[in-house]
Amino acid sequence: MPDDRKPTVRRRVLGTNLRRLREEHGLHLEHAAEQLSCNISKISRIESGRSPIRPLDLKALLDLYEVKDSVAREGWLSLARESRKQRWWRVLEDRLPQDFLDLIGLEEDTSYCRGFQPGVIDGLFQTKEYAEAVIAGGSPGPLGPDEQTKLDVRLERQKALTRTENPIEVWMILGEAALRQQMGGPAVMRAQLGHLIDLARLPNVTLQVLPFAVGAYRGGPFPFKVYRFPEPSDMQVVLLENHVSHTYLEDPSDVGFYADIFNHLRATSLGEMESKALIEGLVSEVPE
């Protein structure tokens, strides 16, 4: 079986949860290797996401870990099948950093995302023109090849919101500054605010605004997202973004920390209807 040094997000999730099952039963790598009649390195590659797993081998491990419920077993097998699929973004491996490819995989494979963006509209919600302005960063002239690739990928990522099968559920809190900073100029910002109002009507999108009047709040002005994978995995991943890279936190204590911050922000922010009213008011304030 080939060793994939750039594991997909879903394959890593599958491996992480297989390791969790093994450890919950007090078993070592040697026990799993004996069950599959293989060496320990193969189990290690599967659990790290560097190698896919065959359905026959997965069934054998599920037997070892005493997963007997037919629905649960089918969930595991479905996760394995999905992890072996070639995703559209894999052709971009040589043009985009691995941490950005992981972000695309998260939005493609997770079922739920909750997050906070204090100073810029989240990439999932950006119009093409707004995204161009953000990616250009104030530089004049057309986007370069690498920047154009980022724009194309960002627009492709947004299809996760409206895909026919299992669109991702997103609960996003935007800081008021994100709604007032005129990226791309008044016309672009007016269209962007209108786009937010339209997206907020989707049944899988919840949008709140953290107003300036709140003052200080937990967590500070730092963006983050918490992604949750569908069953049978109960895995959650925190995404922290900065100017040059993305950091992913998978430890339950980290997830719990950011979940608490999100709950504080959710309770502190305007409600959905109040947020919509604020955005509508800002549209009228943007100069023609």
Amino acid at position 148, single letter: Q
The span from the first CA to the last CA of the chain, in angstroms, equals 60
- Under 8 Å between Cβ of 107 and 154: no
- Map residue 175 onto helix, strand or coil: strand
Q: Is-contact 107 124, C-beta < 8 A?
A: yes
* Encoded tokens for 266: 């959710």
The model's pLDDT over 228-280, given as tens digits with 9 standing for 90+, comes to 887 776 778 888 987 666 788 888 899 999 999 999 999 999 999 999 999 99
Look at residue 100 and tell me whether its pLDDT is greater than 60: yes
Highest average pLDDT, of 80-94, 129-143, 184-198, 243-257, comes from 184-198
pLDDT for the residue 2: 45
Question: What is the C-alpha R_g of the chain?
Answer: 21
Listed as own residue / partner, the contacts of 79-86 with beta carbons closer than 8 Å and 24 or more positions apart are 79/10, 79/13, 79/14, 79/232, 79/233, 80/14, 80/52, 80/53, 80/55, 81/55, 82/10, 82/109, 83/8, 83/10, 83/11, 83/13, 83/14, 83/52, 83/53, 84/11, 84/52
Mean per-residue pLDDT over the chain, rounded: 87
Q: Is the pLDDT of residue 15 over 70?
A: yes
